[in-house]
Structure 1
């Protein structure tokens, strides 16, 4: 069975905020709706969809310029995060997207939503790691992270 939903946030590999999508019931019930990433589609919700589309059109031009500025900052800076690690250089846990957001903020960078950060391989060891940040529908910024041991 499939559920018809309206996305309230951008979801990687599914769609952007305001899109109407059909997904399997379990994905909708267990992931999208509890995390407030989507709402069930109805005729009344269609009105909400139209309002979201209008707001997105108004923000598109200014947010694109802001996103390009943020991309320049993220591409030219390397974040340094300290974490507890064992003798072999393996971390006790992984670096989370929330920790990445805090590191960006502490370094004087742009405000980034943790849900927009995509980490391809979990950061579980010391050294350099890569991630990307989807700042806008057309703007993706590379993010370089240097993980060092806490002393």
Structure 2
């Protein structure tokens, strides 16, 4: 039985894939659970159109990431924090604080959930954070942590 997956499913494939499964598995489990639809001619046309639109959207996202990469190369970020004795920070610097500083100082909006820090930042200094702008594009942003 040929089916089209409506969402990614373990060991079968990703959204939009057309796969062949046993008839009972498809009819009694995958289709009633809303994971797949039967691969008839109408559903195949819909799946092809969705794949074309997804490909166009992916190209646009990649182009946007490339443009953002060029802007980030010129950005300078300073995260201002409260500091105690010995240069220790109260708490630690989070990706959300870095994203807010980037937006305030450079007018660049980046999703803080795409940032990967090597570890907690608890002292004043210069650090790096990796930004995952796209599946294929990442950028290492240097930033400074300074007292208020």
TM-score w.r.t. length of structure 1: 0.63
Q: Distance in 1 between matches of 2:10 and 2:74?
A: 36
- Which structure's CA Rg is the greater one? 2
8 Å Cα contact 2:77-2:142 kept in structure 1: yes
Asked if 1:62 corresponds to 2:73, the answer is no
For structure 1, the 5+ residue unaligned runs are 1-17, 23-41
Give the secondary structure class of the aligned counterpart of 2:86: coil
SS at match of 1:107: helix
| TM superposition score normalised by structure 2 | 0.64
Which ranges of structure 2 fall in alignment gaps of 5 or more residues? 1-6, 12-29, 38-46
Which of these residues, 93, 98, 101, is aligned with residue 100 of structure 1? 98
How many aligned residue pairs are there? 113
From 102, 108, 111, the counterpart of 2:109: 111
Are the counterparts in 1 of residues 128 and 142 from structure 2 also a CA contact under 8 Å? Answer: yes
The equivalent residue for 2:19 is: none
Write out per-residue CA displacement over residues 94-142 of structure 1, whole angstroms, 9 at most, x where no aligned residue. Answer: 1111111111111234321111111112221101010011011111011
